[in-house]
Amino acid sequence: MKKPIVRQGDVLLERVNAAIPSGSILQPRITGRVILALGEVTGHAHTIAASGAELYEAQDGTHYLLIREGPAFLTHEEHGGILLDAGVYRVVRQQEYHPEEIRRVED
């Protein structure tokens, strides 16, 4: 199932037809999982446990998810799981407006 955009709560994944930008830094796994977003309030997380998944941070702060072998399963304690095909995805976190600043939504 090749969906160009998938959303799970405050995380949106956009499939891109490009390589991960050079100079991007591989992000470490936490407790064996790739963590796309960690809930600051609840502690719940959007995670992928598949060994073929890697998260990179580009020099401009954009995050990219690489799924080397699909499908990989995106999970969260409060949302239904999503199967992701192999490929590169740009990771976008939902933002919200406050009079003081625009900031990421806190779970």
What pLDDT was estimated at residue 1? 45
pLDDT tens track of the chain, all 107 residues?
466 888 877 889 999 998 999 999 999 999 999 999 876 655 678 899 999 999 999 999 999 999 998 789 998 877 778 899 999 999 997 655 555 655 554 54
What pLDDT was estimated at residue 62? 95
What pLDDT was estimated at residue 77? 74
Number of domains in the chain: 1
B/e letters for 40-59, b = 16+ CB within 10 Å, e = fewer, are eeeebbbbbebeebbbbbee
Tell me the whole-structure pTM to 2 decimals: 0.82
Range(s) of the domain holding residue 94: 5-104
